[in-house]
Amino acid sequence: MYLDFGLDQVIHANEIIAIIDKKSIESSTELNDLLKRYNHHSIHQPNGTYKSIIITKKQVYFSPFTSNTLKKRSEQGLY
C-alpha cells in the first residue's frame, strides 16, 4: 500500500518509521536536532510550510497534511 502525502508524492507504507505532527516537532529539541542532522536527506514542500513529517530510513519528508489526515488515509487503503 502507498501513502500520498502531498503534492503528488507517494511512499510505500512499509518504508514509514514515524509520522510526527508539527507541534511535537516544535516542542522537542531532540526532534529539532534530528531534523538538522537529516536536513540534506529531507524533501521539503515548495512553499516551505508543513503540518507533519514522515520519517523513513533514507529520507525525511515534509507534508502539508496533518498526522491525523495521513493516518486516516493510510487506514482507508486507497493510497
- Each domain of the chain, given as residue ranges in start order, spans 2-76
Confidence at 79, pLDDT banded by 50, 70, 90? very low
Cα-based distances in Å from 4 to 29, 35, 37, 45, 70: 28, 21, 25, 14, 8
> What is the tens place of the pLDDT at every residue in 23-71?
998 899 998 888 888 777 787 777 778 899 999 888 888 899 999 999 8
Q: Where are the alpha helices (DSSP H) in the chain?
A: 22-26, 29-37, 67-76
Instruction: Compute the average pLDDT of residues 11-20.
Output: 90
Continuous segment of H or E residues that includes residue 3: strand 2-6
